[in-house]
Amino acid sequence: MHGLHHASPLALIGTPSWISVVVLSVTILVPAWLCLGFNVADGLTVGVMLGYWWYGVVHQCHPSSREHILARLLQ
């Protein structure tokens, strides 16, 4: 699937966002909430989700994605 994504970077290939949110919530929010309390768990989960989102932005804007407008602006 990753090869298909790089073959046509503008195509919507991959995991839907809602699945990523559910998986991150179940694997990070719930255990951290049980161990550390809601405030810490919420901050941790939001930080991980923002990091995951930023990775996606950088991955899409990488200069190898020539068709993407942000990739052209960053050159």
Tell me the Cα Rg of the chain.
16
For residue 46, pLDDT beyond 70: yes
User: Bigger pLDDT: 39 or 61?
Assistant: 39
pLDDT band at 47 (very low <50, low <70, confident <90, very high): very high
Q: How far is CA 58 from the centre of its chain?
A: 10
pTM, two decimals, is 0.69
